[in-house]
Amino acid sequence: MSAALRARVAQGISRVVSQGKSLTEVLPDYDHLEPRDRALARELTFGTLRQYLQLMALTKQLLQKPLKKKDNDVLCLILVGLYQLFHTRIPDHAVLSETVQATLKIKKKWAKNLVNALLRKALRESEQLHTFANQSQESALNMPGWIIKQLKQDWPEDYVNICINSRLRAALTLRVNSRQTSRDEYLHQLEQAGIAASTHVFADHALVLEKSCDVTSLPGYLKGDFSVQDAAAQLAAQLLDVKPGQRILDACAAPGGKTAHILELTDNKSDVLALDNSARRLIRLDENLKRLNLKAKSLVADASDPDIWFEGDKFDRILCDAPCSALGIIRRHPDIAILRRPTDIVQLTQIQEQLLDALWAVVKSGGVLLYSTCSILKAENTQQIAKFLHRHSDAKLKKEWQILPGDEQMDGFYYAKLQKR
Ligand SMILES: C[S@@+](CC[C@H](N)C(=O)[O-])C[C@H]1O[C@@H](n2cnc3c(N)ncnc32)[C@H](O)[C@@H]1O
């Protein structure tokens, strides 16, 4: 639990909040750390970002004048210090000494006294500072104002709970590989290894672990007995109702979590084309399928332009797991709430509309297109599909399902199952 670790975490957080990097880009910075330090660095990073707006509101009260932009790493170090004081069991004296020493590691010796004085003041005046900070809904709910406003409009009864649930840690959920073992058999193996887990009410192959752990230490990791996947995401392949021998398109497939599930459910005997317009992400899809010993044809392509990739044989099943605001998965990716902008929503709904229209043209008559997002905004979900149904009289809505974050321990997700007449 060293000062160097705090310094690294502050720099990681600074890359997110001031350089707009995603956590997926930042977390590999911790890869070379010892497993225990890596776990702590991740916990401090996720935790600080989950509480970011409230910690910022506390810091603003504590600082006499704002820090310069070039000292964002010092600001982030203060946030990490406050997070440890108010949200972890690390003793106060350890937080103070390691965080203050971390100013030297980031080569900001001048900030040593400032950080020390500020963290001590935070401890002394914790109650007043929190009371004042929580007068703002942004700080109390740890959610940017524009997201609160949008959620309030879409979910007037639920928006506060949505914000609260988005700040809780999500359970570690596994998808048992039905080609290798059954869910109940694997649950038994976990029990024998002393790991508590339970089945899921909706997702047939899901096991929800009581406590998070290093998944590489779980039984059958190397054999590919399971993948890590939220239960809501596991519903995609299930709802698509896939069968061996079908021709299936996974249109926005990378990194391949749902492609792999489709192949597992069809015993690797379906003809799956996996498209994604990101070559980098598609490499991860290929690696994931290889680990699980599954086969699909993968192609870097814009799914909304079938002229480039469609070879004339229409599909029985299409999954359109569309790019979206991802506001349903903030509990797993707290950086989303910081990085997302209101203008993104307009652009995303246009892309979703183009994808839906283009893909509908290549569904067989009687075939199914499943549209999914990990969003909870109506513009991307129910309203998007209502407009689609208005444009396509040959489409029948067979099922629509909006899952809110925390429902049955799931991420926020939306599904619309559309059948072509
Ligand atoms: C929600 S993610 C897909 C997650 C994936 N289905 C899984 O379960 O692992 C959306 C994906 O759509 C891809 N994408 C965005 N626009 C696209 C387009 N026009 N054509 C194909 N893929 C696209 C992104 O690169 C991203 O990988």
pLDDT tens track for 206-235: 999 999 999 999 999 989 999 999 999 999
Answer whether CATH 1.10.940.10 is correct for domain 3-142: yes
Mean pLDDT (whole number) for 354-372: 98
Q: Looking at the structure, give the CATH architecture of the domain made up of residues 231-420.
A: 3-Layer(aba) Sandwich (3.40)
What is the share, in percent, of the chain residues with pLDDT greater than 90?
Answer: 99
Quickly state the pLDDT bin for 1 (edges 50, 70, 90).
low
H or E element in which residue 367 lies: strand 363-373
Mean pLDDT (whole number) for 240-263: 98
CATH for the stretch 173-228:
3.30.70.1170
Report the chain's mean pLDDT, rounded to a whole number: 97
From the alpha carbon of 278, which atom of ligand 1 is closest?
A: 25
Give me ligand 1 centre to Cα 247, in Å: 19
Residue 122: predicted pLDDT: 98
Task: Kindly report the backbone phi and psi dihedral angles of residue 165, in degrees, each rounded to the nearest multiple of 5, phi listed first.
Answer: -65, -30
Quickly state the pLDDT bin for 56 (edges 50, 70, 90).
very high
* Structure tokens that stand for 359 in this block: 């893909």
139-183 pLDDT tens trace:
999 999 999 999 999 999 999 999 999 999 999 999 999 999 999
With a Cβ cut-off of 6 Å, ligand 1 is lined by 252-258, 275-278, 281, 302-304, 321, 323
Residue nearest to atom 11 of ligand 1 (CA): 252
267-286 pLDDT tens trace:
999 999 999 999 999 999 99
Give me ligand 1 centre to Cα 323, in Å: 5
Ligand 1 binding pocket mutation candidate from 265, 277, 285, 320 (most atoms within 8 A of CB): 277
From the alpha carbon of 303, which atom of ligand 1 is closest?
A: 20
Ligand 1 binding pocket mutation candidate from 238, 259, 276 (most atoms within 8 A of CB): 276
Q: How far is the C-alpha of 91 from the C-alpha of 129, rounded, in Å?
A: 20
Q: Is the dihedral of CA 25, 27, 30, 34 positive or negative?
A: negative
* pLDDT at residue 395 greater than cutoff 70: yes
**Dihedral (Cα; 256, 340, 45, 86), 10-degree rounding:** -140
Give me ligand 1 centre to Cα 25, in Å: 17
Residue nearest to atom 10 of ligand 1 (CA): 323
Residue 410: predicted pLDDT: 98
Instruction: Give me the active site residues, please.
Output: 374
189-210 pLDDT tens trace:
999 999 999 999 999 999 999 9
Indicate left, alpha or beta for 20 from its phi (over 0: left) and psi (-120 to 50: alpha).
left
Give me ligand 1 centre to Cα 5, in Å: 34
Residue nearest to atom 15 of ligand 1 (CA): 323
The residue extents of the domains of the chain are: 3-142, 173-228, 231-420
* pLDDT at residue 291 greater than cutoff 60: yes
Q: Burial level of 308, CB count in 10 A (0-12/13-18/19+)? A: exposed
From the alpha carbon of 304, which atom of ligand 1 is closest?
A: 19
Give me ligand 1 centre to Cα 287, in Å: 16
From the alpha carbon of 254, which atom of ligand 1 is closest?
A: 27
Query: Cα(first)–Cα(last) distance of the chain, in Å?
Result: 61
